[in-house]
Amino acid sequence: MTRFDKTVKLKNAQPDTDWLTIAVQCGYYDYQHLVRDYKDFTGLTPTSYFQLDVKAPESVFGLHEESTLHSR
């Protein structure tokens, strides 16, 4: 879970960073390992998760500190 949280924070801080780079920087063996964690924790791929997260009211109104969908 810590590794997953790190990916969320890194993607929020560096939205233009590609998923493979984030996976490696956060200690995943490869991109597919990252995808498996996202699907296990959120039911979504990393890209789908962040597309929904960006539309969340907390993000739109600047109240977004951490991922709002994290509890899924």
Domain containing 53 — which CATH number?
A: 1.10.10.60
Give me the domain span that covers residue 56: 2-60
27 occurs within a structural domain: yes
Whether the per-residue pLDDT at 13 is higher than 50: the answer is: yes
56 occurs within a structural domain: yes
Total tally of structural domains belonging to the chain:
1
What pLDDT, in 10s, does the model give residues 15-63?
Answer: 999 999 999 999 999 999 999 999 999 999 999 998 886 555 555 444 5
| Residue with tokens 């929020």, as numbered in its chain | 12
> How far apart (Å, rounded) are the C-alpha atoms in residues 26 and 60?
27
Instruction: Please report how many Cα atoms fall inside a 13 Å half-sphere around the Cα of residue 45, on the Cβ side.
Output: 6
pTM (predicted TM-score)? 0.70
72 occurs within a structural domain: no
pLDDT for residue 52:
84
Other CB atoms within 10 Å distance of the CB of residue 10:
16
Whether the per-residue pLDDT at 71 is higher than 80: the answer is: no
65 occurs within a structural domain: no
